[in-house]
């Protein structure tokens, strides 16, 4: 409820209270006035009748005295008659009870008789200088008649006064009840007014507190966003700074492996390679997790042969199982020959799940099962992946947090290597692909991880013809001396990469930035261009855009980068034919070069 509405309620209640107080004052004064009217009316009526009776008694005494006494004083009798008649006129003309009394038939008859008798009496005594006994008797008789009518009026008036007093008391009780009701209403309104004021003050206090909390939350959000940006920037910088030396180390190790050396030196090279690969895996996991959390990582959907991929991933993971003397199985059911998905990310999902299973399994087996379920619309379905093991299992306390980053099983917090990123990356990649992941586990008996991701089936003719063309062309040109342009600002990395390219059988030219590369492209023909992204003078992104607008737009351009990012121009076109992330394995670079050069020569 808004403050404005509260203020309106308070103003409305105050108006009601003021109106009720005004009505209470009116009722109070009306009640007093009514009571005063009744008292005044009663006093006036009793005074009038008493005065009339007193004047009658005086007149009657005077008449009787005159009747006894022969010497009749007409003026004295006439004066008393005049006083008596004036009292009769005052009673008749009294307006206090005029409305009520005139409505009574007995009162009206009595008044009429008094008036007629008065007129008769007045006509009898008017102009007389002296009374005789017969005239006094007539006057006495008329006075007696008036007295009877006055007594009748007095009786009627008393009854009417009693009834009027009862009505007045009933009205007083009604007004008193109204006053009590209004008093109760005023008290209720005042109480509600107090409650509204208190609620308004509480609401204002709560609003201030909420505003303060929102401000704190907004500040915390800004701090979190700035921290997240700083973390992403830090990871991007560190990843580039770490991956470039790692690329040089792994490239040098790859060259040393092909060089004849003593067994002792060969073992040292093996240690260097193993340590470099572990460091590479750690850097890759950190960068992937950062990219997934910041929604910068995108899936690169492309068709690939499922069976070849399954066998390659199986062969890459089998040595890890054999090292712990575990049985390692891989089988598939109803999976199409080719599917459209991100090959590298699918390999990452399977590798992380299998390596996690191998890490926590000491005896028994690790099994990977693939299946496919067709869905509507056509050529779309779900690739189902199940990784089961006979390892230690997952406790209930760890089940909810198993897919959170930097989480390790409470049982093995100090005995197992790793930072707890593998399953978190798997869960984020599955969500990125709009898939699902679940786990069932029993402590001491093993775990089962189930993953489902939506995939597409490519057109059969294209899917089947592409590998044959690539194989034929790569065989036809493998012996030819094709020229590759390598662009990188790191001199050590440039030297190692050029040796690797030459070891593949290609001629290699090098450039330290995009501008030097453009000058070489204008002077020579190249089968492919391999370029870094972050370089001085002209970066790889600008170099790729300029190559696309040149006549040699069909030259394959391969990007080498340390951090996942989007490589799409303003028109939505992909600038690079392939993107490789540092550090790069020799066989991966060789595979990409062969496939892209084969397609280019086919065109």
- 83 closest CA partner among 45, 42, 125: 125
- Which region among 19-28, 97-106, 405-414, 471-480 has the lowest average model confidence (pLDDT)? 471-480
Query: What gap in Å lies between CA 576 and CA 28, rounded to an integer?
Result: 97
Query: What gap in Å lies between CA 409 and CA 360, rounded to an integer?
Result: 10
Query: What gap in Å lies between CA 342 and CA 100, rounded to an integer?
Result: 109
Q: Which residue has the tokens 């593998």?
A: 422
> In this structure, what are the phi and psi dihedrals at residue 76, rounded to the nearest 5 degrees?
-65, -45
What pLDDT shows up at residue 197? Answer: 77
What pLDDT shows up at residue 461? Answer: 38
Query: What gap in Å lies between CA 389 and CA 436, rounded to an integer?
Result: 20
- 300 closest CA partner among 564, 585, 569, 563: 564
Element (H, E) at 507: strand 507-511
pLDDT in tens, 432-470: 999 999 999 888 889 999 999 999 998 763 444 344 333
The percent of residues above 90 in pLDDT, for the chain, comes to 20
- Cβ 354 vs Cβ 326: under 8 Å: no
The first and second tokens of residue 314, run together, are 């199986």
- Using the Cα atoms of residue 152, residue 153, residue 156 and residue 162 in order, give the sign of their dihedral: negative
Q: 465 or 203, which is more confident?
A: 203
Q: How many residues are present in the chain?
A: 603
The first and second tokens of residue 497, run together, are 């990469």
- Cβ 347 vs Cβ 341: under 8 Å: no
- The strand ranges marked E within 334-435 are 338-341, 365-375, 380-389
- Which region among 43-57, 122-136, 155-169 has the lowest average model confidence (pLDDT)? 122-136
Strand 436-442 to 446-456 pairing = antiparallel
- Which region among 190-194, 301-305, 386-390, 537-541 has the lowest average model confidence (pLDDT)? 190-194
- Cβ 189 vs Cβ 20: under 8 Å: yes
Whether residue 353 has a cis bond before it, omega within 30° of 0: no
Confidence at 282, pLDDT banded by 50, 70, 90 = confident
pLDDT in tens, 23-75: 666 666 655 555 555 555 555 566 666 666 676 677 666 666 665 665 556 56
> Which 8-state DSSP code applies to residue 583?
S
Whether residue 377 has a cis bond before it, omega within 30° of 0: yes
């Amino acid at each position: 409820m808004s403050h404005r509405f509260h203020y309106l309620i308070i103003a409305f209640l105050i108006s009601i209270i003021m109106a009720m107080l005004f009505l209470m004052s009116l009722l109070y004064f009306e009640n007093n006035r009514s009571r005063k009217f009744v008292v005044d009316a009663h006093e006036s009526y009793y005074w009038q009748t008493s005065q009339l009776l007193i004047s009658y008694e005086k007149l009657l005494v005077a008449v009787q005295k005159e009747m006894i006494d022969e010497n009749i004083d007409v003026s004295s009798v006439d004066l008393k008659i005049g006083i008596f008649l004036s009292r009769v006129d005052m009673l008749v003309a009294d307006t206090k009870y005029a409305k009520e009394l005139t409505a009574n038939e007995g009162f009206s008859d009595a008044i009429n008789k008094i008036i007629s008798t008065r007129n008769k009496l007045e006509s009898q005594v008017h102009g007389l200088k002296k009374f005789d006994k017969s005239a006094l008797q007539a006057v006495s008789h008329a006075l007696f008649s008036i007295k009877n009518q006055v007594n009748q009026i007095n009786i009627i008036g008393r009854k009417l006064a009693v009834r009027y007093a009862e009505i007045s008391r009933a009205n007083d009780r009604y007004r008193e009840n109204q006053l009590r009701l209004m008093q109760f209403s005023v008290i209720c309104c005042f109480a509600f007014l107090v409650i509204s004021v208190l609620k308004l003050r509480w609401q204002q206090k709560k609003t201030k507190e909420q505003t303060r909390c929102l401000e704190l939350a907004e500040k915390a959000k800004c701090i979190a966003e700035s921290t997240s940006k700083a973390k992403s920037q830090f990871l991007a910088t560190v990843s580039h700074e770490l991956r470039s030396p790692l690329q040089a180390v792994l490239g040098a190790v790859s060259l040393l492996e092909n060089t004849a050396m003593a067994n002792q030196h060969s073992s040292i090279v093996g240690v260097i390679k193993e340590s470099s690969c572990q460091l590479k895996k750690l850097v890759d996991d950190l960068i992937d997790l950062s990219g997934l959390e910041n929604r910068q990582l995108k899936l690169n959907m492309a068709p690939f042969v499922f069976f070849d991929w399954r066998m390659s991933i199986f062969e890459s993971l089998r040595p890890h199982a054999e090292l712990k003397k575990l049985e390692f199985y891989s089988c598939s059911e109803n999976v199409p020959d080719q599917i459209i998905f991100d090959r590298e990310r699918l390999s990452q999902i399977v590798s992380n799940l299998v390596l996690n299973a191998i890490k926590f399994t000491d005896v028994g087996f690790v099994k990977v099962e693939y299946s496919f379920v067709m869905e509507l619309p056509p050529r779309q379905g779900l690739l189902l992946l199940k990784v089961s093991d006979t390892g230690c299992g997952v406790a209930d306390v760890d089940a909810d947090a198993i897919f959170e980053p930097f989480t390790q099983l409470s049982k093995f917090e100090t005995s197992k290597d790793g930072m707890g990123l593998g399953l978190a990356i798997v869960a984020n990649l599955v969500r990125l692909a709009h898939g699902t992941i679940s786990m069932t586990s029993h402590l001491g008996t093993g775990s089962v991880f189930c993953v489902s991701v939506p995939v597409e089936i490519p057109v059969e003719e294209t899917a089947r013809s592409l590998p044959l063309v690539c194989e034929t062309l790569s065989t036809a040109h493998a012996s030819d001396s094709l020229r590759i342009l390598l662009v990188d600002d790191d001199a050590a990395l440039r030297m190692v990469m050029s040796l690797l390219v030459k070891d593949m059988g290609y001629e290699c030219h090098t450039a330290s930035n995009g501008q030097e590369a453009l000058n070489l492209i204008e002077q020579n023909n190249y089968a492919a261009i391999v370029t870094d992204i972050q370089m001085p003078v002209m970066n790889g992104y600008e170099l790729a855009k300029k190559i696309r607008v040149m006549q040699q737009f069909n030259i394959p351009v391969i990007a080498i980068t340390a951090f996942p990012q989007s490589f799409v121009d303003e028109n939505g076109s992909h600038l690079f034919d392939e993107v490789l992330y540092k550090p790069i394995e020799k066989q991966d670079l060789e595979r990409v070069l062969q496939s892209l050069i084969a397609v280019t020569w086919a065109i």
